[in-house]
Structure 1
C-alpha cells in the first residue's frame, strides 16, 4: 500500500504533530508499506528555515525509509492570525500540484490542526481518485476563538462550514481524543466513520533515566526541586500562570523550587519580559533543542507542569507531552480540565490543579517537593501506564483503520 501523508510539520521539527506523523509513518514503513510525506521546509515555531534546508519549490530526502517531499511555503513565525493563515494557504496551494509529481497513492491522509492541509487532502484525493482520511488533531477554527486570536466574524463562520464539509467528505476521520469524536457526532457527522487513535510516546526513546549531571551542573540546578514546562510557548498555554506561581514561591522563601521552561512560541518573548519585570531568579528559559537531545532535559525534571488556558474547548484535548512524561517516569502537575485530567486521575500519574490558578499550582509544587514517597509512587504509575500509549501499537491501530478504508488493502502486507 502506498500512503501519501500531507502535513506542514515534520522532523527535524520537534512539535507534537511532527513527532506523531514521523513515528506513525516510520512504523508503517517497517510494516512493509510505502509512505510519502509532502511537507514544507522545517521552520516551526520561529519561522526560520532550519540549517541545511532551504525554502525551495521542490526538495526530496529519505528519513527512516519515508520519502519526504518538501515544497515552498510562505514562512512566518508562529504568531499573527493573518500571516499564519497565509502560511497555511501557501502550503495547500503547493502541496496539491506537488502530489501530481508522485506515483499514484492508494490513500491520502491529511492532518490538522490547521484544516487547509485537510483541504489539500480532499483535493488530492479527488484528483488521484483515492480515499481521503482526515486526521483530526485540533478543532480548528474553534481553537482560534478559544485563545482570542480572532474576534467572532463571518470569516470564522465560513471556516466552520468548510470544516464540516471536510469531515463529511472524508472517507474516515481519525481523532486524537474521544471528546473530538463526540463533538463531531453532536454536529451531525456520522459517528461510524470516526475513529480514535490517541497520542502516545515512542517508548524506544522516552524511558526513565537519571538526571543528566552535566546539564544539571551547567544550569545551576543541583540540589533544586525542578518543575519543568517543555513544549510550545503559545497563546493557548497561558504560561503566565507558571510565572505567577514562581513569584508566589519566591515570596514564600521557597527558592529551592525552580521552574524550567524549554521551547519556543508566540508568547516566549513576553514571558521572558514578565519574568525579568518580576525579578524571578527561580525561573530559567531555554530555547528548543533537537529531538535527540530533549530527553536529557526531561531527565532534569522532578515534576512536569502541563497547562492550558481555562476554556471549555481545552476540556477536549489531550496534550501529547502527558504521554512523554509517563514514558520518562516523571510525575505530572496537570492544569488542564476534561479528558486529559481523567487520564491523570485514572492512571494516578500526577496531581491536577485548576487551570490559570497560580496559588493552587504553588501549593501542589510545595506538596510534591516535600513528599518524595508520593513522587516515587506517581513515577512508578507513570511507567506502568505508558505501555497503554506505546506509539508503535497506536501506529498499528491507525494503519488498520487506513487499510480498512482502502479497497483491497491489507495492513500486514505491502500490496504496492
Structure 2
C-alpha cells in the first residue's frame, strides 16, 4: 500500500507530535508499505529552520525506509498567535504545491492540527482523488477559544468551523486521541460512525522502570534529591503558576527538588516567577534531548502538572502521561477529565481539582511520605501502561484504518 502522510511535525524534530508520527511511519514501512511523509522544514522548538534545510524550497531524503519530503515555511520563535498562523499558512501553501508533484498514493493520513496542515492534506486528497484518514490530536478551531483569541461568534471562527467540519465529513476514517475528542467530533457531525479513539501510547521498551539515571543526574547536577518533575512542552493549556506555587508550598522539604524540563509559550511565566527568587527548590532545564527522556523519567520520583480549567483541557492526554506510567512513575496532577479518570481507574496516582495548590501539595506529600502507597502507584502505573498504552498496538490500529480506507 502506498501511503502519504501530511504532517507539520517529523523527525529530526523531537517534540511529542514528531515522535508519535515518526514512530508510526517507521512501523508502517516495516510492514512493507511504501510510506512518504510530506512535512515542514524542521524548526521546533526554537522557531529556526535547521541548517541543513535552510534556503531550500524542498528537500527529499529517505530514512528508516520512509521517504521524507520537507518543504519551506516561514519559521518564527515568536509565541504570538498571528506569527504562528503565518508560519503555518506558509507550510500549507508549500506543502500543497510540492504535494501536487508527488505520485498518487493509495491512501493518505492527514494530521488535523494545525488547521492549515489539515487543509493542505484534504486539498491534495481532493486533487488526487485519494481517500484519507484524519488524525485528530487537538481540536481546531476550538483551540483558539481556549487561548481567548476569538469567540464562537467571530467570523474567522465560524469560517474555520465550517471548513474543519467539511474535512470531518469527507474523511474515510477519523482517529481521535481521546474519548473526549471523539465525543466532540460526533457532536459536530451527528450520526457519524467512522470515528474511533486510539491512544497514541508509548514505546514500552524504551520507557520502563529500572533504567540507570546516574549520567542524567550528573549532567544536570541534580544530586541525590527526590525529583518531582514536569517533562514536556510549556503549552498554553498548562497552569505553570499553580505548579510553581505548589513547589513554593513544599519549599520546607529539603529532600526533594522540583524540576521543570521543557520550553514553550508559557516559558515567560516560568521565567518571571523564578525571577522572584523565593523558589530555591526549583530547577528549570529548558531543553532535554529526546534520547535522554527515558533517563529523565528514571530520575523522577513523581510526575506533576496542572491545567487551566477549560472544557477542551478535560479531554487532553499528553505524551508525558504515557511515558510516566510506562516508567512506573506515580502521577499527581491538578486537573479533571480524561487523565483524572485514567488515574482513578489505574491507581497510578491522584488528581485534584483545577488550580488547587493545597490539594496538589498534599497529594505530593502523601506520595513522598507513604512508601507502601508510592509502591502501589508505581506498580499500577507500569501495569496499566502495558495493558492500555502499547504504541505497537496503536500502530496496528492505524494500519487497519488505512487499509480499510484505501
TM-score, normalised by the number of residues in structure 2: 0.95
Note closer, same or farther for the CA distance 1:75–1:108 as it changes in structure 2 (3 Å cut): same
Residues 1:76 and 2:80 aligned together: no
Q: Which residue of 2 aligns with 1:297?
A: 296
Deviation (angstroms), 1:211: 5.0
| Whole-Å separation in 2 of the counterparts to 1:341 and 1:168 | 31
**Residues in 2 aligned to 1:63 and 1:332: alpha-carbon distance in whole angstroms:** 36
* Partners of 1:107 and 1:97 in 2: CA distance: 19
- Once the two structures are superposed, residues 84-103 of structure 1 have per-residue CA deviations (whole angstroms, 9 ceiling, x without a partner) of 11111111111112112222
Which segments of 5 or more consecutive residues in structure 1 lack a partner in the other structure?
A: 407-416
Q: Secondary structure at the residue paired with 1:12? A: coil
Closer/same/farther in 2, CA of residues 256 and 30 from structure 1, 3 Å limit: same
Q: Verify the 8 A CA contact 1:38 1:95 in the aligned structure 2.
A: yes
Partner of 1:395: 395
State the secondary structure of the residue aligned to 2:200.
Answer: coil
* 2:76 and 2:87 in contact (8 A); partners too: yes
Given the alignment of the two structures, is residue 163 of structure 1 paired with residue 158 of structure 2, yes or no?
Answer: no
**Corresponding residue SS for 2:135:** strand
Q: 3-state SS of the aligned residue for 1:201?
A: coil
Q: What does residue range 329-340 of structure 1 map to in structure 2 within 5 Å?
A: 329-340=328-339
Distance 1:269 1:137 in 2: 26
* 1:216 aligned residue: 217
* Gap change, CA 1:190 and 1:172, over 3 Å in 2: farther
Query: Which structure carries more relative contact order (alpha carbon 8 Å, separation 6+)?
Result: 1
- Residues 239-288 of structure 1 deviation map (CA, whole Å, 9 limit, x = unaligned): 111111111112xx223221111111011133122112142111111122
Give the 3 Å change call, closer, same or farther, for CA 163–55 of structure 1 in structure 2. Answer: farther
* Residue 191 of structure 1: how far off its partner (Å): 2.6
The verdict on how the C-alpha distance between 1:55 and 1:10 changes in structure 2, with shifts beyond 3 A counting, is farther
Q: Secondary structure at the match of 1:293?
A: helix
For residues 278-317 of structure 1, the aligned pairs below 5 Å read: 278-317=277-316
Aligned residue number for residue 90 of structure 1: 90
On the 8 A contact 1:334/1:344 being kept in 2, the answer is no
Shift of 1:55: 5.0
The aligned length equals: 404
Partner SS, residue 48 of structure 1: coil
Contact persistence 2:236–2:265 (CA under 8 A): yes
1:238/1:69 Cα in 2 relative to 1: closer, same or farther (>3 Å)? same
What do the CA deviations read for 1:3-35 (whole angstroms, capped 9, x no partner)?
Answer: 100111111222221111111111111111011
Counterparts of 1:78 and 1:397, CA distance in 2? 37
Please state how far the C-alpha of 1:190 moved relative to its aligned partner: 3.7
> Partner residue of 1:18?
18
What whole-Å deviation, never above 9, does each CA across 1:291-349 have from its counterpart, x for those lacking one? 21221212110011133211111112222221111111111113231122111111111
Distance 1:216 1:95 in 2: 41
Q: CA deviation at 1:290?
A: 2.1
Question: How far off its partner does 1:52 sit?
Answer: 4.0
Q: Compute the RMSD of aligned alpha carbons.
A: 1.7
Give secondary structure in 2 for the equivalent of 1:323: helix
Alignment-derived partner of residue 34 in structure 2 = 34
- The Cα of 1:113 is off from its aligned counterpart by 2.4
Where does the alignment leave 5 or more consecutive residues of structure 2 unmatched?
Answer: none
**CA separation in 2, counterparts of 1:290 and 1:51?**
18
Between stretches 343-352 and 40-49, larger displacement belongs to 40-49
Q: Paired residue for 1:349?
A: 348
Distance 1:324 1:240 in 2: 23
Q: Does 1:229 align with 2:230?
A: yes
